[in-house]
Amino acid sequence: DVKVTQSSRYLVKRTGEKVFLECVQDMDHENMFWYRQDPGLGLRLIYFSYDVKMKEKGDIPEGYSVSREKKERFSLILESASTNQTSMYLCAMGGSGSTTDTQYFGPGTRLTVL
Amino acid sequence: EDQVTQSPEALRLQEGESSSLNCSYTVSGLRGLFWYRQDPGKGPEFLFTLYSAGEEKEKERLKATLTKKESFLHITAPKPEDSATYLCAVQGGSGYSTLTFGKGTMLLVSP
């Protein structure tokens, strides 16, 4: 079974805090993705990585950064959390490069910024 | 720019009442169309991948079909446990294997 794990299911942080969300996959896929999901807006891609230390901006990268030091881990960083970053964050993995491969999702982290 | 529109936004069915969900898309060079199921508070769960017009895939009470402009998810004799949000996504022909998602159809099946 494909497994993507995320470090926390629920997280509450204060405005201005630095927040780390971690994602770990067990399938040796090169591609990993971070999305946020908001009511009425659907899933939006924040950043993705196609190899260790490689990253590309998605549709809404502002206010976020990422880190991929090892193939199986992909971290999303909120440098200074703001209330408009309250959302459901979803990590996914799948395929390599530009292949047509299914993306498999983790359980999600519900982040609340107060 | 790839676009995905799902309809209806919400659908309420009685148990056993078959229906279809629609996913219309515009994409330059479709590489794949994906269907996911998402339960409240959880991550999307993969259902199907369709690659070319005319293709069909089935899983239990669900059947996905694909044309050049849209995909349908047919639900036959649904049960309450089929209640969920169903998401459609496309992968276009250029660049990396990123997906563009629709906003989903929320399905509620009443006993």
pLDDT at residue A2 greater than cutoff 80: no
pLDDT at residue B39 greater than cutoff 80: yes
- Compute the average pLDDT of residues A22-50: 92
pLDDT at residue B54 greater than cutoff 80: yes
Q: Which of 2.60.40.10, 3.40.50.360, 1.20.1440.230, 1.20.120.160 is the CATH number of A4-96?
A: 2.60.40.10
- Nearest residue on chain A to B85, judged by CA atoms? A42
| Ranges A63-77, B46-60, B92-106: which has the least confidence | B92-106
- Compute the average pLDDT of residues B45-50: 95
pLDDT at residue B93 greater than cutoff 90: no
Residue A106 CA: distances (Å) to CA of A102, A109, B36? 13, 9, 13
pLDDT at residue B84 greater than cutoff 80: yes
- Report the share of chain B in percent with pLDDT over 70: 98
| CA dihedral sign, ordered B94, A51, A103, B56 | positive
- Report the share of chain A in percent with pLDDT over 70: 94
Instruction: State residue A97's pLDDT score.
Output: 63
- Nearest residue on chain B to A106, judged by CA atoms? B43
Please, which residues have CB within 8 angstroms of residue B60's CB and are 6 or more apart in sequence?
none
Q: Where are the domains positioned within chain A?
A: 4-96
| Residue whose structure tokens are 């992968």 | B91
- Compute the average pLDDT of residues B13-28: 96
pLDDT at residue A95 greater than cutoff 80: no
Q: In chain B, what are the domains? A: 3-110 (2.60.40.10)
- Compute the average pLDDT of residues B50-76: 96
Nearest to B96 among A41, A50, A110 (CB): A50
- Phi then psi for residue A83, to 5 deg, are -60, -30
B contact test, residue of A102, A104, A112 with most B CBs within 10 A: A102
Nearest to A100 among B31, B95, B101 (CB): B31
pLDDT at residue B18 greater than cutoff 90: yes
